[in-house]
Amino acid sequence: MLFLNNDDVKQVLTMELTMNALDKAYRELARQEAVCRPRIDVQIPTSDPDKIYQWGTMEGGSMSGYFAIRMKSDVIYEQEYQGAITQEKYCVRPGSFCGLIMLNNIENGEPLAMINDGYLQHMRVGADSGIGAKYMARQDATVIGMIGSGGMAHSHVESFLQARPNLKKIQVYSPTKANREAYAKEISAAYGLEVVPMSNPRDVYKGAHIVAGCTDSAVPIVIGKWLEEGTHVTCVGGKPDEDTLKRIDVSLRLGTAPAPWGLPEFGLADEYITYAAKPKDNSSIQMKRAGNRGHGVIAEDRAVFFSDILSGAKQGRTSDKQVSYSERGNIQGAQFFAVAGKVYELAKERGLGRDLPTEWFLQDIRD
């Protein structure tokens, strides 16, 4: 069994590889050759009334060879900074995190790898937005409006360039002046793009062909009244506001996890499902307020599915004037067998990682 840390993953995982792996996995889901479930979170109040422990998992596998489960152990809380409310998390202490992907061989059940999820996480989320832009953004898109300046805002640039190689300019807003200026300098140097830091979030939308919400905001971050005609929108972290939902002309959903076998009534489009101890006491965490559900299909009456586009049953954008949107759906589990499987293969070829005796993970007592 192989242990791969984030540095190992970074040496082999490119955005092109990530997008291709996810595109393949989503096609397998459409053909029912792969299966996954929605993200499931378990929440337990801690001794600090402002913090909650959260265990999150997502899993899936394919006839192509791999099964994977991604596991996260977090303490979550909210904080306000310069008027923005963000959801923060840590494991053990602020600045450290615990996220692992366990990869198995479906042919004999062998545990193949344990992989830190941090770098892969940023890449797989960015790749989804890139796939959405590939199928939904205007062909002549050259300007990105970027809301946020963290890790997701970095990986999204790579994925958007894969989808639209002729991109020329990024307009970026972050509430912290130093962060948006540092982002502009770094991205401009890395990709040769014009990157302009904006002091007013309204300016991000002006002339933008793609608007991307890439923050850890606990409140809506994409403002519909500022969207211009023909804009394509993606949003990871935070959410679009009600005006955005009204403005959407066509929305692409990459997939929905199937219902359990023989239990169609248990099929849900929710992005996540939460089980909680003392759920009424969790109301201080806005993104997980007791009684709320993870969102279903965005703009459902105007939505098309990836499988519909593949089959030719429906089209995505049909006019440069349309406001379009794209989202992954609740098929996170399918992402990890696909991307982690490729990372494992390439890492083995290059001799990366640390070997752990497979025997440590096997036993002679039937469970």
In a domain, 210, yes or no: yes
What pLDDT sits at residue 290?
A: 46
Q: Please state, in angstroms and as integers, the Cα–Cα distance from residue 198 to each residue in 173, 206, 216, 267, 324, following that order.
A: 5, 11, 19, 43, 24
In a domain, 43, yes or no: no
**Number of domains, the chain:** 1
What pLDDT sits at residue 78?
A: 85
Reported as a pLDDT band with limits 50, 70 and 90, residue 299 is: confident
Share of the chain above pLDDT 90, in %: 84
In a domain, 339, yes or no: no
CATH code for the domain in which residue 301 is found: 3.40.50.720
pLDDT tens readout for residues 122-164: 999 999 999 999 999 999 999 999 999 998 999 999 999 999 9
In a domain, 18, yes or no: no
Reported as a pLDDT band with limits 50, 70 and 90, residue 79 is: confident
Q: Which residue has the tokens 């965490």?
A: 285
Give the ranges where 164-278 is alpha helix by DSSP (H): 177-191, 242-247
Best CA proximity match to 274, nearest among 19, 108, 76, 123: 76
What pLDDT sits at residue 293?
A: 65
Question: Can you tell me the distance from the alpha carbon of 265 to that of 332, in angstroms, rounded to the nearest whole number?
Answer: 21
DSSP code for 257: P
Could you tell me the residue range of the domain that residue 174 belongs to? 138-255+297-328
What pLDDT sits at residue 286?
A: 45
Is 90 exceeded by the pLDDT of residue 216? no
Mean pLDDT over residues 272-300, rounded? 70
Reported as a pLDDT band with limits 50, 70 and 90, residue 297 is: confident
Three-class SS state of 105: strand
Q: Do the beta carbons of residue 34 and residue 306 sit within 8 Å? A: no
Summary mean pLDDT of the chain? 92
pTM for this one? 0.90
In a domain, 153, yes or no: yes
Question: Can you tell me the distance from the alpha carbon of 209 to that of 245, in angstroms, rounded to the nearest whole number?
Answer: 17
pLDDT tens readout for residues 223-236: 999 999 999 999 98
Question: Can you tell me the distance from the alpha carbon of 288 to that of 286, in angstroms, rounded to the nearest whole number?
Answer: 5
Neighbours of 276 (CB within 10 A): 18
What pLDDT sits at residue 333?
A: 94
In a domain, 200, yes or no: yes
Is 90 exceeded by the pLDDT of residue 84? no
Question: Can you tell me the distance from the alpha carbon of 296 to that of 268, in angstroms, rounded to the nearest whole number?
Answer: 8
DSSP string for 30-62: HTTSEEE--EEEEEEE-SSTT-EEEEEEEEEEE
Reported as a pLDDT band with limits 50, 70 and 90, residue 281 is: low
Q: How many CA atoms lie within 13 A of 32 on its CB side?
A: 4
Reported as a pLDDT band with limits 50, 70 and 90, residue 222 is: very high
DSSP code for 271: S
What pLDDT sits at residue 287?
A: 44
In a domain, 362, yes or no: no
Between residues 84 and 175, the one the model is more confident about? 175
What pLDDT sits at residue 294?
A: 67
In a domain, 219, yes or no: yes
